[in-house]
Amino acid sequence: MVSRIEAALFAALLLFVVIALMSQAIERSKKEGAGGEHKKVEIHDATLREVNASGLLDEYHSRRAVLVADTWRFDAMKMHNSQIRSLQARKARQEKEKIFLEGNVTLHRLDGSVYRADKVRYDEKRRILDSIGPFTGRKGESYVRGTDFHYELGPRRTEAKKVFAHYLMEKKPDDNRSR
- Mean pLDDT computed over 65-88: 88
Flag whether pLDDT at 93 surpasses 70.
yes
pLDDT at residue 103, rounded to an integer: 93
pLDDT at position 2:
62
Phi, psi at 83, each rounded to 5°: -115, -10
Could you tell me where the DSSP H helices lie in 36-108? none
pTM of the model: 0.66
| Confidence bin at 105 (pLDDT 50/70/90) | very high
- CB environment 41-52: b (16+ within 10 A), e (fewer): eeeeebeeeeee
CA atoms within a 13 Å half-sphere pointing along the CA-CB vector of 2: 8
Q: Are 82 and 50 in contact (CB under 8 A)?
A: no
